[in-house]
Amino acid sequence: MSHVRVRFAPSPTGYLHVGGARTALFNWLFARKHEGTFILRIEDTDLERSSPEMIEGIIEGLRWLGLDWDEGPYLQSERLAFYRARAEELVASGWAYYCFCDPEELAVKRQQALAEKRTWKYEGTCRRLSAGEVARRIAAGHPRAIRFKVPEEGVTRFADRVYGEIEVRNESLEDFVLLRSDGYPTYHLSVVVDDADMRISHVIRGADHLSNTPKQILLYRAFGWEPPIFAHAPLILGPDRQRLSKRHGAMSVTAYRDMGFLPEAMRNFLALLGWSPGDPSREILRTSELIELFSLEGISRANAIFNFEKALWMNAEHLRAMSATELFPFVRAELEKEGLWREEYAQDRQDWFLWVVDLLKVRARTLRDFVTSGRPYFSDDFPMDPEAIQKNLRTSSAVKGLLLELADRFERLEPFDLQTTEQVLRGLAEERGVKAGVIINAVRTALTGSAVTPGIFDVIVAIGRERTVRRLRHVAAALC
């Protein structure tokens, strides 16, 4: 394959949603796989709906996902003269014409047709204007757009790498606008001109553009340019099979960051929405594997449904697969946000910290879990779950005495480690004729406020002798 050049070309009319992120990811994977170039281009020609903040938001999303681009970001708003020149060229070559029709009048007609369920197509009024009439109106200063002259007969076809041969009769297309009367290009013009100018080899984008592609093919031909290879990816729908929208909750990729998703897991999950390596048993894939396996052939045609449960599962899998060292920066950021971070965790307490991360990651589904179920390890201020108290601390009147006795024995235990704490606890259980589980569960809740934790001796050692003894006595004192 000659040099691969692909692009992600969002319009900054909203944040980076999962659909856009998936499209960006496909382009990025394809570029990395073929050692090609990944270009970021901002399609901000809709001055009303675009904003610099949205550009920032999209870039933030791409950065978080780790989708780095090799060129750009190019802003279409800075290339307006270029599009105008191209549009004028088409007028000169007879492929386009000036249109003086009033947009508002056309909109009225269009709406009327729609209301009556009739098909409406621009009649081509200005297409038939004489040269003299055109010159007269220009001289009179009439506002004018430029429309493309769609051939009246024939079909336009192209081979999509995902959907196969797509064919449309030209008569079903209307003479679409290339340049608006305010001098701004429409999408069809700018996208074709830029893809050609930037020598894009493969256009990988959402299937919502499939129906528009024939118009663009027509434009490439009119310009005398070779079209790129097109590959359309199926859309991502919500669980109700409707297009993803606010009512499905998190649409922005940064919302997944905030929920504690790993970029690695998000890339994995997004990659599998509308693409498959062909082996359904291998789903947990690191990014390097995604790059290796990615191909346009694996893109499916049916719309994909976003399954949040599966995304969570996948995140948990990645969490478990990553070492504490790899997880360190993510967990640190999470603790910092909660005000639980201490510099010593990066210094002399780092071994302890990494060990705790290893303990917690087994049960974690998101990074948030490190500051929720992880809280008792990093702070003395953690919530006590009433149900856990009921279940583990109020089971028997003996619990109070057992906790106090255990605290006493732990206080003078030397050394204080996994083996010795287990010996002491089990010894106490045997002496008093209670099941070890009763003491274990009571200690679990006394130390963490929860009924669900890692193995109890890990918890005891992680929390440490001093805090363990203090918490046991404190909880025992509260029991009557």
211 binds RNA (CB under 7 A): yes
Question: Could you tell me the smallest distance in angstroms from the CB atom of residue 208 to RNA?
Answer: 3
Q: Which of 2, 119, 288, 397 binds RNA (CB under 7 A)?
A: 119
Return the residues of window 10-49 that contact RNA according to CB under 7 A. Answer: 10-11, 13, 43, 45-46, 49
Question: Contact between 122 and RNA (CB under 7 A)?
Answer: yes
**Residue 272 in contact with RNA, rule: CB under 7 A:** yes
The number of residues that bind RNA (CB under 7 A) is: 93
Assigned token pair, 293: 């396996």
440 binds RNA (CB under 7 A): yes
- Cα separation of 317 and 279, whole Å? 18
Closest CB to RNA among residues 274, 376: 274
Q: Does 278 bind RNA (CB under 7 A)?
A: yes
Cβ nearer to RNA, comparing 5 with 188? 188
Answer yes or no whether residue 180 interacts with RNA by CB under 7 A: yes
In the complex, least distance from residue 478 CB atom to RNA, rounded to whole angstroms: 21
* CA-based nearest residue to 38, from 27, 53, 50: 27
The secondary element (H helix, E strand) that includes residue 199 is none
- Between 19 and 36, name the residue whose CB sits nearer to RNA: 19
Q: Using CB under 7 A, which of 3, 110, 337, 342 touches RNA?
A: 110
306/353 with CB nearer RNA: 306
95 or 275: CB nearest RNA:
275
**Of 24 and 316, which has the nearer Cβ to RNA?**
316
- Is 147 within 8 Å of 97 (Cβ atoms)? yes
Between 227 and 234, CB nearer to RNA: 234
Cα angle 222, 225, 231 (rounded to 5 degrees) comes to 105
Distance, in Å, from the CA atom of 293 to the CA atom of 440, rounded to the nearest integer, reads 47
User: Measured between alpha carbons, how far is 110 from 308 in angstroms, rounded to an integer?
Assistant: 40
The answer to whether residue 456 forms part of the interface with RNA (CB under 7 A) is yes
Q: How far is CA 188 from CA 166, 266, 390, in A?
A: 18, 31, 66
Contact by Cβ (8 Å): 296, 162: yes
Q: How far is the CB of 239 from RNA (least distance, A)?
A: 7
Q: Residues 49-78: x/- map of binding to RNA (CB under 7 A)?
A: x-----------------------------
Interaction between residue 413 and RNA (CB under 7 A): no
- Could you give the C-alpha distances from 80 to 56, 83, 412, in angstroms and in order? 21, 5, 79
Residue 184 binds to RNA (criterion: CB under 7 A): yes
Question: Which two three-digit tokens encode residue 59?
Answer: 């870039």
Smallest gap, in angstroms, from Cβ of residue 347 to RNA? 30
Decide whether 336 or 417 has the Cβ nearer to RNA. Answer: 417
Cβ partners under 8 Å of residue 139, min gap 6:
none
Binding to RNA, residues 213-242 (CB under 7 A): 234-235, 237, 239, 241-242
What separation in angstroms does the CA of 174 have from each of 171, 288, 379? Answer: 7, 45, 67
Tell me: does residue 454 bind RNA (CB under 7 A). Answer: yes
Q: Does 270 bind RNA (CB under 7 A)?
A: no
Pairing of strands 236-237, 96-99: unpaired
Q: To the nearest whole angstrom, how small is the minimum distance from the Cβ of residue 177 to RNA?
A: 4
Active site residues: 246
Cα→Cα distances 304→206, 316, 365, Å: 12, 22, 23
Q: Which of 60, 70, 258, 283 is in the footprint of RNA by CB under 7 A?
A: 283
Touching RNA, residues 366-395 (CB under 7 A): none
Give how far Cα 82 sits from Cα of 87, 225, 226, 273, Å.
9, 16, 19, 36
At 465, which amino acid appears?
A: R
Q: Is 444 in the site for RNA (CB under 7 A)?
A: yes
Q: Shortest distance, CB of residue 346 to RNA, whole angstroms?
A: 27
- Residue 164 engages RNA in binding (rule: CB under 7 A): yes
Helices (H) and strands (E) in the chain, counts: 21, 12
Is-contact 144 100, C-beta < 8 A?
Answer: yes
Min separation Cβ 3 and RNA, Å: 25
What φ, ψ does residue 225 adopt, rounded to 5°?
A: -105, 150
Residues 299-338 that bind RNA (CB under 7 A): 300-305, 307, 309-310, 313, 316, 320
CB 195 within 8 A of CB 7: yes
If you count them, how many residues does the chain have? 480
